[in-house]
Structure 1
Amino acid sequence: MEQSGLEQDVLRYDVGLETWDALIGDWEDDEDLLGAETHLGATTSPGGNDDQDAGSRRSPSARRRGKRSPKVVAAASIMFLLFGQNRLNSRFSLSLGMFLFASRTGRRVMEVLSRLGLSIAYLTVATVLRSVKDLSKKCRKRARDTFLDQSKCHIFGYDNINWQQKIRNKTGSSTTVMRAAVHVALYEIDPSTQIKEGPQHSVRHPRVLEDMLGADMPVPSTTRTSMLTGLGPNPWPALRAPRDELRKKPLTDNLHPSDVLCGEQDEEQILKAILSHARKAFLIQHGCLRYDSPVPEPPQIWPLAVTKTKVFPLPVLNVDESSVQGNLEVFKQYFRTQLKIPDSFWSDNVLFVVPDAYKSIKIKQGQKLRRCDLSSLKFDRFSAPQPCAAPWHLMYAYIRCLISNYGGPSQQASFISARNIAERVGFRNLLSEPHNFHDCNRYKKSGSPPPAARSLSRP
């Protein structure tokens, strides 16, 4: 195999190869010497003393079965250290320098190791960290400028990260604890391109929009501000004025929760839209299937196509967002500490928040309580965020329905209940509180659905 000139020069002056050749030569000499000693020990005269014979037969290099050879360990350590001197690979020196800097090692120690070629210099680590810090500031500034742009639609989505960590006790044993953090991404959506009439989207009728969004919703357009073109370039104060007036008045007797929240009909219509998309995607993907009767083409519910979505990641927070106070802290940390959004933004804008179904309930509870209404800041009133559960979390509602309706009692459970069946197939804690929806999803895919679901699937 031919090698380039640069590789030949590197191999010619590589210290690692020279040391490895010398180490191989020493091993060959040791093996020859060990073979000679073994041969001499085997040909010892039988008339000698037993202790002397045993001592002569005992080789200094003999080791018990399963013990690591010191030579192998030394060779691995030498080769690992020599990677720091090889000009083609500096990963070891970079990792060692970052570890020493993070462990608050003295500067002189790092400088000595850098002169030996085993670590990077102290100033190099400081420069790398400074560049990472500057990059973080630029990313946050870009996300802030994008967030304040009222010509685009922004969605604030966040979820938690869970991992297990082992902590050593004073007794020498370790316990496993669950850690949690919050990661956030800001999505910028450009809905300027509309779906045209054609074979893929044959239904784009005003009746579809009326059934989906209501009769009082204007047709989506490509205006600069929003779809509400009749209220001027900044329609949010006019839209929020009736709601602010309603909040100042005492609670009326004829007020129903469906006036301010999504009711069953709205959720049913959204579910029909999602099922229509899923049905259409299934027919397009599995066009080779043949049915006894032709399947009608489902209508295209949403008349817009998202052409481009930009994602702006934000720093990870060490916040527990499993409570109402935790979700309030998430908004406070990101919008007031990280992005530094001005308070005037929250009086004229509405922020769409897409967490999971559990966190959307916590956000609505925080809006209902409104503990910070007495504050003079608009952000503390916590009325701008509009929580919308992610569409894929509708599966969680379906699983909760199966658990509550077909789970059965914990005491004296029947033989065909979902609780008994889940315990038999390995999901013993499936129906215990709090519900683990990921385990429920695996239980559904394992081929052991509840009896009610099997009865519904029968023709």
Structure 2
Amino acid sequence: MTVRQLRGSQYTPDKRLVDNANELLSVKAVQAKEAQQQKVENDRQMRAQEREATRLLREKEAVQASQEAARESEASETLKAHGVVKQILGDPEDGGFGFGSLKQFFDALWRPGGDRATSSLLSKYVEKHGADHARNMFRRSNQARDDYISEELAKILQKEGRAIQALLTREWTTSVTDLLQQFSMEDLTVQLEQVAPTLWETLGLVSTPDQSTRRQSSGDNRRDKSLVFTTICALVSVLRSQKANNFQMVVGLFLLGSGASKREISVLAHAGLSISYALIIDHVKKLSTEGLVTIQEVFRTSMVQIVWDNLNIAFRIAEQRMGSKNHFDSGTTATMIPVFDPATGKHAAHGTLPLETNPSRERTLPVLDWTADDILPSPQEAEQISQTCLWQLKRIALEHIPGVTDVLRESLGECPTVHQIPLHKTEQYPLPAMKLDESSLDGTIEVYETILRNIGVNDEALRKHGIMFDDGDLLTDSLKEKVYFQSAIKYSTDWC
């Protein structure tokens, strides 16, 4: 049955066939149209590709022609340059300059003097293109490049090595105390980077991991490279001179103060990271001597007080034998503290409290003559205390109540004060430790005498100083009371 017959049919099955046939014809028409458009588009793209290929071919031919022309020009320039070389080495009778060799020519070319304009032209050329000139020369010979770099780099590194040595060598007048106070790893790192920039940059390049190993070494990125480089420079300095050991001396004193054993310090000393154990002990003695000189100077210029207490250490020996048994050592440590005068804001001067102001005592227990007026505040003082307490309550409320504005907090003002003591840092000077048992009467007397001897006190100096306060625990106070009544004990009436 034809399509025309199906269209003329009035029956439903035939009508469905007609609709299907029309739909199929429409799909074929759309596909035919799309195929035609695709063909047109393909033809257009093919023509565009042909045009682009033609353009690229022409550009390539132009570039090749330009390169060929450049090569011909460079070849011509090279021939001219070679001709100049031949003329430089040629016989003067043949129009040459008569130089025996190119070395002779270049030595004469770079030698100072000659025509000023030409010399200036050469200087400008070297300033702008000297690096390119050197690279072009070294392409001819790797051996010449390596020899030149090794020679010049050796000169630079030797110069920087001398600078590192000078930086880490202290003057003979520098005390151990001054070195410890002035030493700073941060400052030393900055100074080393300034005096040895080539070595510092070389260490940075050498220590930078490759891309293939960067992930494996990512855990070491937390290490501060500058500290490692500083240590390397310190090792270089001590190899150049055993006296250039500022870094090693500070490390050695730190190890000793941190409780490192003699064997550990010896191992680090052999590695160059520290000075030897014997030298550390020698510097500790120098440090003690310098501290004692400072203490004596402070005593000569200021009123001071002394604080001390006993120190008991039990030593347990794992394997006891003759001469090495468990023992119990007793010692005493003391500290000198300059007395602060709030009236002047400085140390109290000698004679501020003369010895005469300390009344003589006739009994062991002190007799205090006082009344309630001596400890109760006056009406004026009570009012001042109330104002201060009220201010503190307001401050606490403003800080903890939510919603309070900053303007309201600032409106509170400063806390009212009466004869406020200015803020200051109390100085303290440790005295040499004493291997004396202070827990006995004789031991206390020895401690007195040793402390006075260490700070350089005699009768005249003590009278000039005035009352010297001392302090300790209850045992120390009890022993001092006993010593005070021993009239035969020296200085017994000069302490408070």
TM-score (norm 1): 0.38
TM-score (norm 2): 0.36
Structure showing greater Rg: 2
Q: Which has the higher helix share?
A: 2
Instruction: Specify which structure has the bigger relative contact order, considering alpha-carbon pairs within 8 angstroms and separated by 6 or more residues.
Output: 1
